[in-house]
């Protein structure tokens, strides 16, 4: 099984990508989208969202990063993809899944799924503009208001030359409400040959195994589940290896617990590094909010995160956050 870390606008930026890939288990990341309108963006615009471009398109832990573009003009997207290609990204991904109202109102993201022909034109234009060695992939939902054109969109993306396709198993109308309709991904696999990556409602090792069983996909993309449980990809990878009798190259022992997450002490170590990272580029008044945003997700998995969130909920001063972090004294760090 291959595990991909999802793009999440306003949350899963390069600093958090760095933290989550340090724990292991992630095979590939996709950046948050870069909005393309009517001009070719400067080099710094790509690097701002994906500074990994300065590190051979990899996170500090060595995990490859694809850079995602969002827009509706095939020609302008192609020109920007060509400019991005000069930075030698691991790949270029195209966003047909963003459900944000403001994005959709400007003909970006999931709203394009009502126009499969345009979706295909965008992918084809970008594919032609990018050197053959750079993969061009796409991410889509099942549709906008309904999933009646899901097969049309998937086929258009395949015909246009995409290397692979991530499918978030919900429509825009579904938002992020459970469930994810994994069975529809299985349907799509009957209509296209390109590799499909399943995405949506993967919070645990059991979810990952069930998603693979229902969809038939050997590649999964995880977003919120990884933010909530930073060790999830590693736990899934170890469980998958244990099913084959091998973990990290050795036969699994009888007392090894598949699906076990990382210790809270490691998470605290990551939070300290995360704070250093965001302090280098985020205004002081917003730094506390970024840390609490991550803690809010981790409350789902870690009781300690709930305690930390309660302690910091009303704290906005960076100095107080730094004092709190220094008092945690983690016993181990990644």
Q: 78: which residues sit within 8 A by CB, 6+ positions away?
A: 125, 126, 128, 129
**pLDDT on residue 329:** 65
pLDDT band of 332, cuts 50, 70, 90 = very low
Angle at 191 between CA 174 and CA 208, to 5 degrees: 55
Q: Compute the average pLDDT of residues 316-329.
A: 91
Q: β-strand 246-247 against 219-222: which pairing, if any?
A: unpaired
Contact 138, 93 (CB under 8 A): yes
Q: How many CB atoms lie within 10 A of CB 152?
A: 18
Contact 192, 155 (CB under 8 A): yes
pLDDT band of 246, cuts 50, 70, 90 = low
**pLDDT on residue 189:** 98
pLDDT at 258 over 70: no
Kindly list the structural domains of the chain, giving each domain's residue range(s) and its CATH number in brackets, ordered by start: 2-247 (3.20.20.70), 264-328 (1.20.225.30)
Catalytic residue numbers read 98
pLDDT band of 252, cuts 50, 70, 90 = very low
pLDDT, one tens digit per residue, over 103-137 is 998 889 999 999 999 999 999 999 999 999 999 99
pLDDT at 162 over 90: yes
213-226: string of b/e by CB count within 10 Å (b at 16+)? ebbebebbbbbbbb
**pLDDT on residue 251:** 37
pLDDT, one tens digit per residue, over 191-234 is 999 999 999 999 999 999 999 999 999 999 999 999 999 999 99
Percent of the chain with pLDDT over 90: 88
* 22-26, 164-168, 206-210, 238-242: the lowest-pLDDT one: 238-242
Contact 26, 2 (CB under 8 A): no
């Amino acid at each position: 099984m291959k595990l991909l870390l999802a793009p999440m606008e306003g949350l899963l930026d390069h600093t958090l990508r760095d933290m989550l890939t340090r724990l292991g288990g992630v095979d590939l990341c996709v950046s948050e989208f870069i909005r393309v309108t009517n001009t070719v963006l400067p080099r710094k615009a790509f690097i701002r969202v994906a500074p990994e471009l300065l590190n051979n398109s990899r996170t500090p832990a060595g995990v490859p990063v694809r850079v995602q573009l969002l827009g509706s003009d095939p020609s302008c997207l192609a020109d920007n993809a060509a400019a991005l290609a000069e930075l030698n990204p691991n790949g270029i991904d195209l966003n047909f899944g963003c459900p944000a109202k403001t994005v959709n109102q400007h003909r970006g993201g999931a709203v394009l799924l009502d126009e499969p022909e345009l979706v295909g034109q965008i992918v084809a234009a970008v594919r032609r503009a990018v050197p053959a060695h750079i993969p061009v992939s796409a991410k889509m939902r099942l549709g906008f208001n309904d999933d009646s054109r899901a097969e049309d969109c998937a086929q258009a993306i395949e015909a246009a030359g995409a290397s692979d396709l991530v499918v978030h198993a919900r429509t825009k109308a579904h938002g992020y409400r459970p469930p994810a309709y994994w069975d529809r991904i299985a349907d799509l696999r009957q209509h296209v040959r390109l590799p499909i990556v399943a995405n949506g409602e993967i919070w645990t090792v059991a979810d990952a195994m069930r998603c693979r069983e229902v969809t038939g996909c050997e590649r999964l993309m995880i977003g919120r589940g990884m933010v909530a449980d930073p060790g999830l990809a590693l736990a899934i990878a170890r469980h998958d290896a244990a099913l084959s009798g091998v973990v990290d190259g050795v036969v699994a022992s009888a007392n090894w617990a598949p699906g076990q997450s990382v210790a809270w002490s490691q998470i605290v170590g990551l939070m300290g590094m995360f704070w250093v990272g965001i302090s280098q580029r985020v205004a002081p008044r917003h730094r506390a909010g970024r840390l609490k945003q991550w803690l809010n997700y981790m409350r789902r998995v870690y009781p300690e995160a709930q305690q930390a969130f309660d302690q910091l909920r009303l704290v906005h001063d960076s100095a107080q956050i730094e004092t709190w972090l220094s008092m945690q004294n983690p016993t181990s760090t990644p």
